[in-house]
Amino acid sequence: MPYLNNTNNTNEVAIFYEDHGAGKPVILIHGWPLSHRSWDTQVTPLIEAGYRVIAYDRRGFGQSATEWNRYDYDTLAADLNALITGLDLNDVALVGFSMGGGEVVRYLTNYGAGRVSKAALIASIIPLVPQKEDNPDGVPQDELDKIAEALKTDRVAFLKDFHKNFYNYSLLKKDVSEARLEADFIVASGASENATQKAAEAWATTDFRPELKNVTVPTLIVHGDSDNIVPIKTSAEQAAKGIDNNEYHIIEGAPHGLNVTHSFELNSLLLSFLNK
């Protein structure tokens, strides 16, 4: 199985990735608290459309190695850079889902766009999650505090309900199967407990608003207007205003996990954007 080590850090961490297809490279960066397998419904259409698709596991998640402390976005972007330079990739399209949008923006901030031709922010946390005086539509701090506490006291119980909210799943609205919920739970519960907590701290506290100016490549922004995890007003609406060269699409009725529930719509938008 392929791994790349991030040698930019004091402690090397082995990052697991899959690399399939040929053509221009597309790197898929998964959301919290899943793994590269969350992109399954996008990988095959992208490969069949003629792209080289590289999907990897964030440190501490999936099959990547775990480190104790370093889950800040500088470190996560360094892992992405190690992948890009290790595979000597150019003309790359970076596609970040949810938390993964942070790696996209921080990579462009720290390493520039020399190897990157396009970016996509899918149901992304960019630019800011928490509610603040100048971000009234963000998630209230007490809700974020409850998530942090739940991850410390009963992480697996929290994850059960979290993935229902991920897809807006209820007795009256079953947009995904129970098997999908179980599969996601297995992946999420199998991640490092410490990594799950530290990564959540990263996405819940990092303010990317000053970095939006660094996103200079053509950028696709896709969000669902029924996202109960990352409210559209604190994320996509602001990203679309702060990133100059962007193409913004709202998928009506889509939840946070729109890459699964609305895969046809997302794949069509993504392929149209990449083909331009």
Q: Which amino acids are annotated catalytic?
A: 98, 227, 256
CB 30 within 8 A of CB 55: yes
Asked if the peptide bond before residue 127 counts as cis, ω within 30 degrees of 0, the response is yes
Task: Kindly give the interhelix angle for 100-111 and 73-86, rounded to the nearest 10 degrees.
Answer: 70
